[in-house]
A and B are shown apart, each in its own frame.
Chain A
Amino acid sequence: MTILLSIFIGLGLFFLVGFAGRTALHAAAPAHHKPMFRDMPLTASFGLAVIAIYVVVAILAPVIAPFGEGQVLGAAYQPWAAPHYLGTDKLGRDMLTRLIYGARNTVGIAFATTALAFVLGSVLGIWAALVGGRLDQWMSRFVDALMAIPALIFSLLLLTIFGTSVLTLILVIAAVDATRVYRLARSVAQGIVVMDYIEAARLRGEGMWRLIRREILPNAMAPLVAEFGLRFCFVFLSISALSFLGLGIKPPTADWGSMVRENATLITFGDITPLLPAGAIALLTVAVNFVVDWQLHRASGLKE
């Protein structure tokens, strides 16, 4: 019964947020972008709306949250009742407050990591494709070999060696992820480098930097942006998994992955509280994936 009910409520919320998001976007968009939003699938508008909510919550966390991030307020594992609407965790901290701060910490760290991986991977990838020859061969061979070590396993290895702190976490995940970005950026750039307009620019005597900046990057943006979304999901899930395993973001920093870990025992008693941070992770990832899927679909549709 509860399963059916939760599915029902979930679907209802999905349509509500989706429709509201689409209407809002359509109203707010400049005239020439209006058709894009009118035709967007419900999944995409739902995704955009959810992402917007997360961003607002992350930015305004100290304003919205009823209590302090690490504040111990009373007994552990209190049930859902005012003033602790979602109860308290195993140290007696307010669950809702920590969920809200988690948006800031977990999402912020994942975003910074993705951005770092992206800059590193795409610059190296495009450069390798443009220069070609032996340098490209060796770099790509090496990256191939690194990619043959599963990402999570490689991260675990590096974390063992360098120890676990937020900074090493960001650097390690970014380094591991940059190999994936490198592969994509290189293959996108290779598709562009063989175009006649690149040949024309080379024959004109253009320098490397201008080739990358004016000829390649503008044409590589669309797939790279979509990839950024996918990479973000991947990084976000990686960090959450590591935190869940007790190797990522450390207490007392509020973080969704470690919140699941800390309170997991409740599940065996049928209490769904530990699923809330897990659900928060899942919801954001779903939202980003929906938007990326829509963009990829649009890009492939425009090509035909």
Chain B
Amino acid sequence: MAPAGSACRGLSANAAQRPQGKNNGKRGDGMNDIWRMIGQRLLLGVLTLFIISVVIFGATELLPGDLARELLGQSATEETLAALREQLGLNDPAPLRYWNWLTGVLQGDFGVSMATQKPISELVGTRLGNTLFLALYAAALSVPLSLLLGVLAALWRNSIFDRASNALALTAISFPEFFVAYILVLWLAQTGIFPSMVRITSATTTGDLLYSAFLPALTLTLVVTAHMMRMTRAAIINLLASPYIEMARLKGMSPMRVVLRHAVPNALAPIINVVALNLAYLITGVVVVEVVFVYPGLGQLMIDAVTNRDIAVVQAIALIFAAAYVLLNLLADVLSTITNPRLMHRK
């Protein structure tokens, strides 16, 4: 599964340009403006998280009946229903339940899993670490690779390299993750080079982990690199039509210098957004890949919870993933603000 290329490009470009218009014509100390803008972004991020928490919590309210009946089915007796309602706290009014849930979450208490009767924070704890490890592993492989490929494709645009890499990237984007994963298993795990399943115990060293998690990380890398590369290329090529690029060429600068010194600094904001978007996307990609490789991460846990309709666990994990997504976007926003000379150096 994959974010749509063109739509994302449009969004990231918008995100990069939005602040310019808003602050046009204001004069003042540059750094103060930057801090104010970053403050605004942080506030907006908090607000977004708040809305998300309401949506995640409130989604259960959309059910025609109540959650207990939905979970237990029509055949449930009144006693069991009442017991479950009591356990879920369904007898309280919704705003009060939301308040209790939110204050719990803010203190790291996500409630109790219905399926296992264990505290959710306990279930989530180590798995969150594993998932983060896998995402970072994939990011460490894919970000440098895709930026390099994207810049090269832009530099040699319309060459064989560009066309081939574009077609390959399109193909990779179109493959479902489980397809990529199973192909890798077939090629690399069958021959015994890499393990097709990941086991993590307390005795596993980082070296072991890097080795055994290589295939899942590679799967994610392949899918994400294709996106990032295409979007990096598009961001740079978009700029190559600018008059200042023609000016640089007419000053006798070499193609390499034109791209690296004149195009890339201006493409930073869109590229940062591209990277953030794809890192955020890794979070979702992780779910399928974890299932294929039986990787003990949050994704697996979430799928189990969905299958068991263990709603509290699903809500907790959805909130964690969404928070990670918001934080990444926030970081990208701040970074692209401070790389923009128009914003850093006011009139």
- Is B171 in the interface zone, CB < 8 Å from A? yes
Distance to closest chain A CB from B254 (angstroms): 25
Known A244-B288, A247-B306, A267-B186: A230·B283 in contact at CB below 8 Å: no
> With A and B bound together, what is the CA distance between A246 and B300 in angstroms?
12
Residue pair A43, B167 in contact (C-beta under 8 Å):
yes
Question: Which residues B289-341 have CB closer than 8 A to chain A?
Answer: 291-292, 302-303, 305-307, 309-311, 314-315, 317-318, 321-322, 325-326, 329
- Is A274 in the interface zone, CB < 8 Å from B? yes
> With A and B bound together, what is the CA distance between A260 and B179 in angstroms?
9
Residue pair A289, B174 in contact (C-beta under 8 Å):
yes
Residue pair B283, A150 in contact (C-beta under 8 Å):
yes
Known A183-B7, A282-B174: A149·B1 in contact at CB below 8 Å: no
Residue pair B174, A226 in contact (C-beta under 8 Å):
no
Known A148-B326, A278-B182: A241·B52 in contact at CB below 8 Å: no
Residue pair B10, A187 in contact (C-beta under 8 Å):
yes
> With A and B bound together, what is the CA distance between A275 and B3 in angstroms?
23
> With A and B bound together, what is the CA distance between A233 and B2 in angstroms?
8
User: Number of A-B pairs whose CB atoms are under 8 Å?
Assistant: 171
- Is A145 in the interface zone, CB < 8 Å from B? yes
Residue pair B288, A241 in contact (C-beta under 8 Å):
yes
> With A and B bound together, what is the CA distance between A241 and B182 in angstroms?
14
Cβ of A184: which chain B residues have Cβ within 8 Å of it? 7, 10
Residue pair A161, B311 in contact (C-beta under 8 Å):
yes
Residue pairs across A and B with Cβ atoms less than 8 A apart, 8 shown, are A3-B187, A145-B51, A146-B55, A153-B287, A154-B318, A244-B288, A289-B170, A296-B6
- Is A56 in the interface zone, CB < 8 Å from B? no
In the complex formed, the residue of A with least CB distance to B49 is: A148
Residue pair B314, A160 in contact (C-beta under 8 Å):
yes
Task: Apart from A160-B310, A233-B174, list 13 A-B contacts with CB within 8 A.
Answer: A149-B52, A150-B325, A153-B321, A156-B318, A180-B7, A187-B14, A227-B7, A237-B2, A241-B1, A245-B288, A260-B178, A275-B182, A296-B6
In the complex formed, the residue of B with least CB distance to A232 is: B4
> With A and B bound together, what is the CA distance between A293 and B170 in angstroms?
9
> With A and B bound together, what is the CA distance between A100 and B45 in angstroms?
47
- Is B183 in the interface zone, CB < 8 Å from A? yes
Question: Which residues A271-304 have CB closer than 8 A to chain B?
Answer: 272, 274-275, 278-279, 281-282, 285-286, 288-290, 293, 296
Cβ of A244: which chain B residues have Cβ within 8 Å of it? 176, 178, 288, 291
Cβ of A163: which chain B residues have Cβ within 8 Å of it? 70, 309
> With A and B bound together, what is the CA distance between A18 and B190 in angstroms?
33
Cβ of A159: which chain B residues have Cβ within 8 Å of it? 306
Contact pattern, A 224-243, Cβ under 8 Å of B = 1, otherwise 0: 00110011011001101100
Distance to closest chain A CB from B155 (angstroms): 19
Residue pair A150, B322 in contact (C-beta under 8 Å):
yes
Residue pair A278, B179 in contact (C-beta under 8 Å):
yes
In the complex formed, the residue of B with least CB distance to A158 is: B59
> With A and B bound together, what is the CA distance between A95 and B85 in angstroms?
45
Cβ of B62: which chain A residues have Cβ within 8 Å of it? 161-162
Residue pair A149, B322 in contact (C-beta under 8 Å):
yes
Distance to closest chain B CB from A232 (angstroms): 10
> With A and B bound together, what is the CA distance between A162 and B63 in angstroms?
7
> With A and B bound together, what is the CA distance between A278 and B49 in angstroms?
36
> Which 9 pairs across A and B sit closest by C-beta, in order of nearness?
A285-B174, A278-B179, A145-B51, A230-B4, A286-B174, A237-B1, A152-B284, A150-B284, A149-B322
Distance to closest chain A CB from B15 (angstroms): 10
In the complex formed, the residue of B with least CB distance to A145 is: B51
- Is A157 in the interface zone, CB < 8 Å from B? yes
Residue pair A230, B170 in contact (C-beta under 8 Å):
no
- Is B111 in the interface zone, CB < 8 Å from A? no
Question: Which residues B168-221 have CB closer than 8 A to chain A?
Answer: 170-171, 173-179, 182-183, 185-187, 190, 196
Cβ of A247: which chain B residues have Cβ within 8 Å of it? 303, 306-307
Contact pattern, A 151-186, Cβ under 8 Å of B = 1, otherwise 0: 111101111111100000000000000001001100
Known A183-B7, A267-B186, A274-B182: A156·B325 in contact at CB below 8 Å: no
> With A and B bound together, what is the CA distance between A274 and B315 in angstroms?
33
Distance to closest chain A CB from B316 (angstroms): 11
Cβ of A234: which chain B residues have Cβ within 8 Å of it? 1-4
- Is A142 in the interface zone, CB < 8 Å from B? yes
